[in-house]
Amino acid sequence: MKISEAKSNFMFKQGIIVFLLLGFLKVYAQKQYNVLDWKTDVSLNTYLVQQMHQQYDERRTNFNEALKTKAKTLAYINNVKQKAKKVFGQLPRKAGLNPIITGIIEQDGYRIEKIVYQSFENHHVTANLYVPNAKGIFPAVLLFCGHEDVSKATESYQKTAILLAKNGFVVFVIDPISQSERVQLTDETGKSLTRGSTTEHTLLNLSSNLLGTSVAAYELFDNQRGLDYLVTRKEVDTAKIGVVGNSGGGMQTIYFAAIDDRLKAMVPCSYLASRENTLATTGAADGCAQIPNEGAALLEMSDFLIAAAPKPTLVLAGRYDFIDYNGTLQSFEDLKKVYNGIGQPEKVSLYTYNDGHGISKPKREKAVQWFRKWFYNDDKIIVEPELKILTDQELFASEKQRVNVSFPNEVTVQKKE
């Protein structure tokens, strides 16, 4: 063997030894910091779920103590109302509403006004106002939309609004951010850059949380500004304002009930459940369905409706909904105990239909009956006739069907932050 060849073999063997030694040292060094030998992601989730259960155990203790006397129940109602306002944090500064009616559609017994208003500076909200064709003033209902991309043009929401209008209500249907004309993340032509409304909600919520707010807070603010507009209308009896919402709009309704005292009756559909059950099983929902620090504040989903007690509240549910029906029953039981405790059990009710998710015809009929009962002192059964609906194109309120291309200085949520 040549000297150069022997030297090469020696250096090769040395290299292998050094490589193995470095590998051993690397493994040994990693082992010092590998404090969990089991599945760390599962362990972390298990730990967090256990901490969550401990928080809601404390909440149950407080709740059960509050039920012992009427005075304690009333104190609990006031306490959860204050905590609800606190977890929402600082809302944006109000700007002038500057409402614009961009079109009117005359229908059988009512008209639809296409409206755009401003919530915070250069941030626009699109909506449809349904007004009965009669003289006088009417009770009014805010209608909050779930996560259908066409939002206010969704068939079930149009039919809910029409049925209310035909039964003597002014109805204001508001597009949430990320839906219909209010998609926030778009290219310069207005084309959405995400897969849909819930994806955009969640993306916007992540950055919002880092700055101490949430998509839920932006929706609440837009809805409050919608009510600010509604009470300016000469057709509206401002002492008789209700709210109804389905799915994500049901969650908006639940939050709104706790925050805005101008509301006099609430109908959340297909969303009331148990926050504890949901987080322990399916996990957190999309970005507009919960607020940071709810658990730390010991607030269950039912507490936001309890904060509005004793205002009349009807819960609509589907027995086979993907929203946990057992959680619905648990939360409704909380509501019943509170309303019983303050001597007004007749003001809370649960209507369950044997269907799934959504505000179907039987649920719409019950919602209208509930509002008629409390605003007209009329508890007659409501039967929905055949109703004509319109296309989303016909109901668009903004000039270019997207607010962020219709208004050159539009401030989207991500720009606001």
Map out the domains of the chain as residue ranges: 100-416
Cα 296 to Cα 292: distance, rounded to the nearest angstrom: 9
Classify residue 105 as exposed, middle or buried by CB count within 10 Å of its CB (0-12, 13-18, 19+): middle
Classify residue 252 as exposed, middle or buried by CB count within 10 Å of its CB (0-12, 13-18, 19+): buried
| 283-320 tens-digit pLDDT | 888 888 989 999 999 999 999 999 999 999 999 999 99
According to CATH, the superfamily of the domain at 100-416 is Alpha/Beta hydrolase fold, catalytic domain (3.40.50.1820)
User: Comparing 43-47, 264-268, 290-294, 363-367, which segment has the lowest mean pLDDT?
Assistant: 43-47
State residue 37's pLDDT score. 66
Task: Kindly provide the b/e burial profile for residues 192-224, where b requires at least 16 CB atoms within 10 angstroms of the residue's own CB.
Answer: bebeebbbbbbbbbeebeeeebbbbbbbbbbbb
| 347-359 tens-digit pLDDT | 999 999 999 999 9
State residue 40's pLDDT score. 78
> Are 244 and 265 within 8 A, CB to CB?
no
> Are 166 and 109 within 8 A, CB to CB?
yes
Q: How far is CA 387 from the centre of its chain?
A: 27
